Structure 1
Amino acid sequence: MRPGSGALVRCGDAAGAARGMDGRTIERAIRRLLALLYDEPTVLREACELLTQYRGYAAVAITYLLPEGELELVAAAGPGAALAPHALQTGVRDRSVVVRAGEPAFEPWREAALRLGIVAAASLPLYVAERLAGALTAYAAAEHAFGADELELLTEMAQAVGRAVEAVRMRLLLAESAVYSNSPLRRMETLWRLSSAADADVEHQAETILAEGARTLGFDAAAVERAQGDGVTVLWAAPHDADPNPEFRTVATVPIPCSAGAYVLRFRASAGALRQDAGDCGMYGALLAGLCGRLLERLEAQRARLALIATDPVAGLANRDRFMQTLEHAVLDPRLRAEGMSVMLVDVDRFDDLRLAYGDEEQERTLRTFADRIRGIVGGHAHVAYLARAEFAVAVSGPPERGEQLARVLGEAIALPFVAGGSETRCTASIGVALFPADGSSPEGLLEAAGAALVRAQHEGGALVRFFNEEAGSALRLRRAMLQGLRFAVQRDEFELHYQPTIDLAQRRVTTVEALLRWRDPRYGLRLPADFIETAEESEAVLPIDEWVMREAAHRSQVLVSGARRLRLSFNVSGSAVAHAGTLPLLAAVLRDEGADPSTLELELSERVAARDVAAARRLVDGAHDLGLRVALDDFGAGNASLGIVKRLPVDSIKIDSVFVRELPHSAVDAAIVRAAITLAKSLDRRVVAEGVESEEAAQWLAAEGCEAAQGYWFSPPLPQKEFLSWLSMHG
């Protein structure tokens, strides 16, 4: 189906069919509808319209979260839609939020809401490709409109909208990648190249005719061209040159009579070769155009014959032979070898049951439905084929993440309900994925690997995506599961801080305590930041984690300042927080909310993180100083820009990375590096701390060299709060 009117007609059909249905039935109908839409604004607008019409909301709005933290209204519907701009300040959260009249959160837009008869709103997070993209907000005229069941339904609708947007963006991503690629995987899309001998004959005739015509008319070059959008495609040219001489200019253009499209015959010549009657091709030019038109018709007929030969008549997709030819060219492309390719086999589970239940005709109709869904998602920019029974093959270029994402979208498309024998039913699909070049370098090898992965998916119960290299597949699945867990870890109270002391080496007493983040993952137990922060930073799940760390550190710092004991508590922030415009305002709000003394807090900034964006790191350091915090440069020496970072960031402390400290004093190289770092820090009037001290010998050597403080397992490992306070009472 093409974008545009066809999709809207089906929208109307689906909407009309939804009248009188219960909530779950409407939700399923809307999900089916969204899967048919081809552009993002239509998906968003139709979702708002349908929810308003069939759930009776006063309004439904969708807002997107912009990179700078602001919100943008992208779609709204319903008689109360005018409220949506006023309610943007309800914000975007990673959980559902219900606001009712009488609650403080309702106050900013109470007047506008009551004027429209709105007394309650529910905002659901909208995730696209596992990233928090914005929110879907429904407004109701009944204060108790959003019960548990309604919220669950709205949550599922927000997920359906996110998946529909993800599918649309996937098609656009594939289209965009095709524009910039010269790989045979894309060039093979033209069917006439499947029979080179026949094509060469037509092309040879065309080039002969063009060369003869240009010579006869006294011109330098001739070409058959077709206008497409804002550009021009050259089909045949003589001399055969993709880049015409820039000194040539067009001297005559003759329309070509052809039912295959709008083609022209264009003649070019240099200024010195122009005749006085240039541009007057007369009958001879018309004859040449007619001959070219005949060749174009022949070419079109060849294409049609080849399409019949290479296309399965039931599914309307390429067959196995054509798909194998595509792969043969793809595996020879150096660019594709560098960027990678996923070859997947999609097999509909228990497809034979359809034939037994409804007969061969219904089974073929269902097969065409699945083929249309796959073709609609992939578009013309990845390769799809029908192999046998209920098995499809797909080849898409790009990294494994793109293949895994496309496989999930295809599985969800197959799982959408369809009508068979007059009743609604569902199927699932098992999908096996092989990666080029890691899993095979030949078409046969790649299909065998994908087949082995498919068998594994089927043996594990079906409706699964499995990779031939299960290590790669497991890594992708674990990452997705981790992201899912991280989204809710804050509200489930799964994070905790462990504490490790920094010791003044001269007085052997605690001066600073570093708060280190830990995640008590329900599935895998206690996890260190190295396990999950990088994954969290790839999505927006890290921003709520940063806020939790700030609040917890500000709160816990007050425990460490009691009586005569005045310890400073240091905490870390992610790389995303360094560049985020909202970090400093959030930190200021946290200090105010928690009533924390800024002088008892120290912000630690990793050298690797600072090196990514030194200007942003400088703004964060200056802002933290303005708020009254100290700042430490963590992991000094581990990056590749240490001296430049120290020069540009006015930090208060430098923490030498543990990689240079562990083998002290026995490693002469490490000793020289640490000694130089201590000298540098002292010359810049910065406090210097050595990380990773694991022996008394190392501690004494550092003290002798003038290092002021140290941190490491020799003194204490990171401990939970209760154990640390017990340790502190004995050593503090």
Structure 2
Amino acid sequence: MTVMHAKNQRLSIKLLRWVILTALFAGGLLSIGQISLDAFRAMDVLKNQAAQILDVVKDPATQAVYSIDPELAKQVVEGLFQQREIRYAGIGHPDETLLAEKSRPLQEAPFRWLTDPIFGKEQQFSVQLIKHEPEPVYYGDLVITIDTVYKSELFIERSVVVFISGILRASILAAILFLVYHYLLTRPLSNIIQSLLRVNPSEPGRQSIPAPRNHENDELGVWVNTANDLLGEISDNQQKRRAAEARVLKLSQYDPLTGLPNRLMFRNHLQNTLDDAKHAGHKVAVLCCGIDDFKSINSQFNYTVGDQLLQAFAERLSNNDGSLQTASRLGGDQFSLIQYNIHNAYNVAELAEKLLKRLNEPFEIEDYSINLYTTIGITIFPDDGSNADDLLQKSEQTMTLAKTVSRNQFQFYVASVDSEMRERKSMEKDLSNALNNNEFHIVFQPQIDYQSKAIIGAEVLLRWVHPTRGFVPPDIFIPIAENNGSIVDIGNWVLDEACRQAAIWQQQGHFIKLAINLSAVQLKDSAIEAYIKSTLEKHHIEPRYLEVEITETGVMENLSNAVETLNKIKQYGVSTAIDDFGTGYSSLSYLKKLPIDKVKIDKQFVHDLLIDEDDTSIVNAVIQLSKSLHLSVIAEGVETKEQEAYLVSRGCDMGQGYFYSRPVAAEEFLSYLLEYTRNPPQIG
């Protein structure tokens, strides 16, 4: 029901409407009755007036008929017409010619249509003319006709007054009755209704309905008290029902022993999570955790200890670092968790390893210190399944399968992914020992100045030769080092080793600038500027002989922090360059903000420079953009004479690539430097 319709249905409006209608009807009816009585009285007055008129002129009219005197008869008739109501008058014998008569038309009036049906248009009256001497002798008649319009006019005026006054009296009475009724009933009822509307349906007993003032002991007061009692009963019943529903819900959705969500609730929550992840384009991991050989716990101790152990295990599973969420108990000794918004399987492997470590810590139950071991099966959405049932089933199967092979480990559903994760974890472990085992070395790739045709610098590149794996490509181990933070120590070693070698060359008279790569992780390290300064001072290298290269994507991770760090490095005298320019998402506005001296064109654009129009356009744009910002430009990955010629023609300042030399060790680089100095090639 709409608000407007509800207002129209209010009792006070209905009451007002009916009181007014009833009063108007009664007032109108009484007025009509009074007007009808007035009509009868008006007709009687008309008849009495006619009788009086006839009585006045009866004798002169009788004398005129008796003496057959037309002049006298005419005078009598003219005398009658002095009365405006007289429309016709005549004197004479019925069987003879009238002695005198006169008439005039009916008076026009706008209300005749209403009064003529009541009084008639005219009323005729007559009197016999009789002379008594000595016996009564009949001589004729005096006839008059009265126009009713004049009496009708008075009647209409009185009727209007009567009707209007009757309606006014009825309206005043209706208003008085309405106010009395409103004060006694409708207003208290309205207040009760407003109090009812304020009652919270979910907690009806919290707020009682106040009894209307002066109605505490009448029917309204009794009704309010009864309603309050009823609301209290409803509130009590609701509380009992909610408590019962909560108990039923907890039994149906939560494990009674651990308090964790059960399989059904976990499955529903997982499906909702997958729906959200599908919409957002995220990955989700499901981890099924099974306690290894839990039956022996019950056999070795007792079921009470076993239950307490499960409760402690569930609590530890729930109190993780926040990266794993929605822990649940699937049943028996099996539990499950969800990891949201993962980037790759490696993230899951790290978390699984941390979880295993936390769960392996001893549990203190009563007087026992108990060690539990756990096996985890992992599935990833959408790679391993598109719905909750598939992912949960496969994670349980993977966990069960992993237990048959070994205990206290994690395993991915896809064997290839699992193998890759184990390989990366093993490599991460080996990487942490590589520095101490002297498995790293650096190589140098010369940088050629196209103007002077001289080797003016070299890029320092890191190489890892594993004792069993052999050569490990940098694009494999660098991301791992950045992910676990070891890149800081490795980067510091590279800087120290490069400065050590530069010092040796300078002692031999070869002053060239060395460019080292600075990762995004190092850029965030607050101590990087101090370490660069201390390392240069340690090896007595001037800052102008060092250049740090930062990647475009590394800078964009935290632009303000990168700008601050680079400013400090540059103020010390170390030059700066942005590496792999064009492969990320930086723009002209970002490039203007960065305190850099050089832009390096990525080798992927140089490789197809002369055959791919898009790469040609990008290279030209980078060179023009750099020149407009007064930055020098170096091209990486130059492999042919034609590429070099094109770059020189476009204004590129420097080049680096296999066309000049592959990255080589320090001794070989020195030989190349000496040979190049003796026999410099043609440039361009």
- Give the TM-score normalised by the residue count of structure 1: 0.56
**C-alpha deviation, 1:523, in angstroms:** 6.0
2:200 counterpart (219, 223, 241) = 223
User: Counterpart in 1 of 2:571?
Assistant: 626
**C-alpha deviation, 1:692, in angstroms:** 0.6
Is 1:591 aligned to residue 536 of structure 2? yes
CA distance in 1, matches of 2:447, 2:498: 16
Is the CA contact 1:505–1:710 (under 8 Å) kept in the aligned structure 2? yes
**C-alpha deviation, 1:691, in angstroms:** 0.9
AA matched with 1:656? I
2:512 counterpart (567, 571, 582) = 567
Q: Out of 611-620 and 562-571, give the one that drifted further.
A: 611-620
1:499-578 to 2 correspondences below 5 Å: 499-505=444-450, 508-521=453-466, 524-578=469-523
Question: For residues 477-505 of structure 1, what are the alpha-carbon distances to aligned partners after superposition, in whole Å with 9 as ceiling and x for unaligned?
Answer: 55555554444544444432211001233
AA matched with 1:223? N
Is 1:348 aligned to residue 291 of structure 2? yes
Which ranges of structure 2 fall in alignment gaps of 5 or more residues? 1-189, 210-219, 678-684
SS at match of 2:383: coil
AA matched with 2:459? E
Q: Using a 3 Å threshold, how does the CA distance of structure 1 residues 328 and 548 change in structure 2: closer, same or farther?
A: closer
Question: For residues 235-254 of structure 1, what are the alpha-carbon distances to aligned partners after superposition, in whole Å with 9 as ceiling and x for unaligned?
Answer: x38xxxxxxxxxxxxxxxx8
1:665 counterpart (597, 610, 615) = 610
CA distance in 2, matches of 1:396, 1:283: 56
Fraction of identical pairs, as percent: 26
Q: Using a 3 Å threshold, how does the CA distance of structure 1 residues 602 and 464 change in structure 2: closer, same or farther?
A: same
User: Counterpart in 2 of 1:302?
Assistant: 245
CA distance in 2, matches of 1:326, 1:646: 45
Is 1:467 aligned to residue 412 of structure 2? yes
Is 1:444 aligned to residue 381 of structure 2? no
CA distance in 2, matches of 1:709, 1:673: 17
Is the CA contact 1:336–1:397 (under 8 Å) kept in the aligned structure 2? no
SS at match of 1:603: strand
Is 1:607 aligned to residue 607 of structure 2? no
Q: Using a 3 Å threshold, how does the CA distance of structure 1 residues 402 and 682 change in structure 2: closer, same or farther?
A: closer
Is the CA contact 2:277–2:284 (under 8 Å) kept in the aligned structure 1? no
CA distance in 2, matches of 1:493, 1:222: 79
1:246-395 to 2 correspondences below 5 Å: 264=206, 284-285=227-228, 287-308=230-251, 319-321=262-264, 323-324=266-267, 326-327=269-270, 331=274, 339-354=282-297, 358=300, 362=302, 365-378=305-318, 382-388=326-332, 390-395=333-338
Q: Using a 3 Å threshold, how does the CA distance of structure 1 residues 343 and 574 change in structure 2: closer, same or farther?
A: closer
Q: Out of 585-594 and 556-565, give the one that drifted further.
A: 556-565
Is the CA contact 2:570–2:595 (under 8 Å) kept in the aligned structure 1? no
User: Counterpart in 2 of 1:686?
Assistant: 631
**C-alpha deviation, 1:418, in angstroms:** 5.3
AA matched with 2:200? A
**C-alpha deviation, 1:377, in angstroms:** 2.8
User: Counterpart in 2 of 1:655?
Assistant: 600
CA distance in 1, matches of 2:387, 2:574: 60
Is the CA contact 1:214–1:221 (under 8 Å) kept in the aligned structure 2? no
- Give the TM-score normalised by the residue count of structure 2: 0.59
1:640 counterpart (585, 599, 603) = 585
SS at match of 1:503: strand
User: Counterpart in 2 of 1:122?
Assistant: none
CA distance in 1, matches of 2:566, 2:543: 14
Q: Using a 3 Å threshold, how does the CA distance of structure 1 residues 674 and 353 change in structure 2: closer, same or farther?
A: same
Question: For residues 10-62 of structure 1, what are the alpha-carbon distances to aligned partners after superposition, in whole Å with 9 as ceiling and x for unaligned?
Answer: xxxxxxxxxxxxxxxxxxxxxxxxxxxxxxxxxxxxxxxxxxxxxxxxxxxxx
SS at match of 2:302: helix
CA distance in 1, matches of 2:229, 2:533: 78
User: Counterpart in 1 of 2:98?
Assistant: none
User: Counterpart in 2 of 1:131?
Assistant: none
Q: Using a 3 Å threshold, how does the CA distance of structure 1 residues 401 and 566 change in structure 2: closer, same or farther?
A: closer
CA distance in 2, matches of 1:728, 1:427: 62
User: Counterpart in 2 of 1:120?
Assistant: none
Is the CA contact 1:265–1:289 (under 8 Å) kept in the aligned structure 2? no
Q: Using a 3 Å threshold, how does the CA distance of structure 1 residues 568 and 463 change in structure 2: closer, same or farther?
A: same
Is the CA contact 1:607–1:645 (under 8 Å) kept in the aligned structure 2? no
Question: For residues 342-364 of structure 1, what are the alpha-carbon distances to aligned partners after superposition, in whole Å with 9 as ceiling and x for unaligned?
Answer: 33322222334445x53xx7256
Is the CA contact 2:503–2:539 (under 8 Å) kept in the aligned structure 1? no
Is the CA contact 1:366–1:420 (under 8 Å) kept in the aligned structure 2? no
SS at match of 1:454: helix
CA distance in 2, matches of 1:219, 1:334: 45
**C-alpha deviation, 1:449, in angstroms:** 1.0
AA matched with 1:384? S
Say what the alpha-carbon RMSD is for the aligned residues.
Answer: 3.9
Q: Using a 3 Å threshold, how does the CA distance of structure 1 residues 410 and 297 change in structure 2: closer, same or farther?
A: farther
**C-alpha deviation, 1:428, in angstroms:** 1.7
Q: Using a 3 Å threshold, how does the CA distance of structure 1 residues 591 and 419 change in structure 2: closer, same or farther?
A: closer
SS at match of 2:607: coil
AA matched with 2:245? Q
CA distance in 2, matches of 1:646, 1:523: 43
User: Counterpart in 2 of 1:140?
Assistant: none
1:684-723 to 2 correspondences below 5 Å: 684-723=629-668
**C-alpha deviation, 1:220, in angstroms:** 3.6
AA matched with 1:510? I
CA distance in 1, matches of 2:647, 2:537: 39
Larger Rg belongs to: 2
